[in-house]
A and B are shown apart, each in its own frame.
Chain A
Amino acid sequence: MTTAFPALGTTAELLVTDPARLGPAVAVLREELAAIDEACSRFRPDSEISRLHEAAGREVRVGPLLAEALGVALRAARLTEGLVDPTVGAAVRALGYDRDFASVAADRNTTPAASPAPGWHRILFDPARRLVVLPRGVHLDLGATAKALAADRAARRIHTTFGCGALVNLGGDLRAAGPPPTGGWQIALGDDHAAAVGRPDVTVALHRDCALATSGTTRRRWRHGGRTVHHIVDPRTGDVPEPRWRTASVAAKSTVDANTASTAAIVLGPQAAGWLERRHLPARLVGVDGDVVTTPGWPEAREAA
């Protein structure tokens, strides 16, 4: 049984193995999504992260969920050596992604010079007491990891609460929890998560307590300063990375880890496959020219005709 609805600027989809549990499971998912939006949305002036920005330079005690999301984002930054850095907020805004994507202007003439992200090390954080000091001028964008965190939290909670198998899909970032259907959850991969089922490049089966995330440069694109840009920023330059991959799909134990790795792969470009292989992460990378590269652990291709 499945249901889908708009959330977090994308589509949320929930599948469960017990049809009788779908209704209450959807309620759990909606609750988790609302909570992550209230804590982490940089587009909402009333979100907790917006209030944290307003209090820049001062010590702030944040709520448990924002503390968790911040901890997850900082861990991602550390494990990728800054390839996925939550302090890219100003850079993303400078590229024109300064509001909900549906409202991003088609083009802008000004092109401010890109500058590197301030760096995650500058955030002062005491996780035990949930105290944060955000330096002035540092703007957070937790987008890369907060959505993935919501998928992890919701899938685990649905399985724990109702006992059934659950698959949460937030815009192509998936988390399976509990027993899957026979043969595993069948996932179609494509350029566009919403169209992949109808036009898959390839399908894979996702098994118990496994996650899969795809980052790509074919969606969330807009014109800015006479060129096409997208939402993935290289923190080292503050600009979009050199185009090497259309999509990077990575499997991991959690959606947070899968999304962290898939985002890092887009940023890394030509070095991505080796970086993923050294971390033993199964991945499938599709180049801008259509070439496909996989890492060990990715299943044998059963490409669609």
Chain B
Amino acid sequence: MEPLTPAGPARREQGRRRAALATATAAVLGAAAVGAIGFGLSAASAETNPASTDPTGSQDRLQAPDSGLSSGTGHAHTGSGAS
């Protein structure tokens, strides 16, 4: 009598095929995400990063202050240190 559902080795084989299909689907979805490069997304790079939100910002370098620092008077308004 033929079983109505696969049993034993047949069922395990079917399970392996489903698992393989799921893995393949995930791989395709992943590739599609990476493929988004072709639709306007690109890996983070110098060309795609937005300009610094600071009007004085630069894409080319970290910017030193214009006015800089000077020696303090010893009477502090606030502090800087590790946090």
Contact = CB atoms under 8 A, between A and B. Distances in A.
A302 B66 contact: no
Contacts of B63: 252-254, 257
B66 to A, nearest CB: 7
B64 A280 contact: yes
B24 to A, nearest CB: 15
A219 B83 contact: yes
A130 to B, nearest CB: 9
Contacts of A216: 81-83
A126 B48 contact: yes
B69 A206 contact: yes
Chain B contact residues: over half helix, strand or loop, or mixed?
loop
A294 B73 CA distance: 19
Interface in B40-61: 40-46, 48-50, 52-54, 56-57, 59, 61
Interface stretch (A21-29, A42-50, A67-75, A109-117): A67-75
A200 B46 contact: no
Interface stretch (A31-39, A90-98, A184-192, A233-241): A184-192
Contacts, number: 258
A41 interface: no
Given A68-B53, A153-B53, A121 B81 contact: no
B37 A279 contact: no
A156 to B, nearest CB: 7
Interface in A53-105: 57-59, 67-68, 71-72, 74-75, 77-79
Contacts of B40: 126, 129, 131
Contacts of B56: 209, 253-254
A300 interface: yes
Nearest to A210: B65
B67 A208 contact: yes
Contacts of A178: none
Interface stretch (B3-11, B14-22, B28-36): B28-36
Interface of B: 29-30, 33-34, 36-37, 40-46, 48-50, 52-54, 56-57, 59, 61-83
Given A126-B40, A190-B79, A209-B66, 13 more contacts: A74-B49, A126-B48, A131-B41, A132-B41, A149-B53, A169-B80, A172-B80, A172-B82, A208-B67, A209-B67, A211-B65, A251-B64, A261-B62
Q: Which 7 A-B pairs have the closest CB atoms?
A: A216-B82, A203-B72, A196-B79, A171-B83, A188-B76, A207-B67, A127-B50
7 contacts: A75-B52, A172-B81, A187-B78, A203-B75, A212-B69, A282-B69, A299-B69
